[in-house]
Amino acid sequence: MFDFPKSLTFHFGKYVSDLVDWLTVHWEGFFNGIRVGLLWVLNQLNDFLLWMPWWFFILVVFLLAWQFKSVASGILFACFLMLIGIFGYWDEMMYTLCLVISSVVISLIIGIPLGILMANSRRFEIIAKPILDAMQTMPTFVYLIPALFFFGLGLIPGVLSTIIYALPPVMRLTNLAIRGVPDEVVEASLSFGSSRWQLLTKVQIPQALPTIMAGVNQTTMMALAMVVVASMVGVKGLGLEVLTALGQIDVAKGFEAGISIVFLAIIIDRITLAISNSFQKQR
């Protein structure tokens, strides 16, 4: 009477596992192509970041903060980067930055057009919203399992799982931003003979840009939040240092690596948010 009847149990995960196995065997060439292409792009980006002189990178961050926030913010962010270098995590920071940049760029390339499609198609929005809900609420570790089957250990499954986790905010906020453009503005544009493409590129996107930039900020922060999780599949960087410190119960190493992630998160968050506010003021 009180226990759930065992005769009613059903394990749907078996069919998901069979599907993953079938895809691994029959779509091996497709996944290998994605892995090779992405790995080449990521290696080029990582090599460029490591090639850049440390002082030049700090100078660029200082100038960005000065331009969009204040001189004090630029000095503070430069000090944060100096501390990461003093801790001995400069290369690890660059590897983490490579993961974040690549994941965010791919998320924006996919997410902004799909968000625009959601804003213009009620049917697609109804289909997409439950999928986005599942992507945001499903435990992040679950993303790593099929990625490991398809791409093995390394940077690629980490990037792809980060994309899945970071994609929903930019899609949702792009959809919200386009729908939030005043009807009077849209009607005025159409009355002057604008095509649908002109309406989108010259009216809706410029009006919606501040909210879209807020979505870019949220996507970036969610990508950075996946750094430690991605390290579980062999992704190097600050997340792997935190994971190693956890395994060794090394408080000092864990603190230095953890605070380095915090410094990087503050820098990225404040600069992207300042750029978003700048677009808002211009509008």
Q: What is the mean pLDDT of residues 31-50?
A: 84
How far, in Å, CA of 217 to CA of 222, rounded? 9
**pTM attached to this predicted model:** 0.85
230 three-class SS: helix
Question: Average pLDDT, whole number, for the chain?
Answer: 84
Q: What is the pLDDT of residues 121-150, one digit of tens each?
A: 888 889 988 888 888 787 777 777 777 777
| CA angle (101 as vertex; 100, 103 as ends), nearest 5 | 65
Which H/E stretch holds residue 192? none
Q: What is the pLDDT of residues 150-183, one digit of tens each?
A: 777 777 888 888 888 888 899 999 998 888 888 8
- The letter for the amino acid at 29 is G
Cβ(271)–Cβ(65) below 8 Å: yes
Domain boundaries, the chain: 8-282
Q: What is the pLDDT of residues 216-227, one digit of tens each?
A: 888 888 888 887
| Assigned CATH topology for domain 8-282 | MetI-like fold (1.10.3720)
Tokens found for residue 18: 């069979």
180 three-class SS: coil
What 8-state DSSP symbol labels residue 12?
T
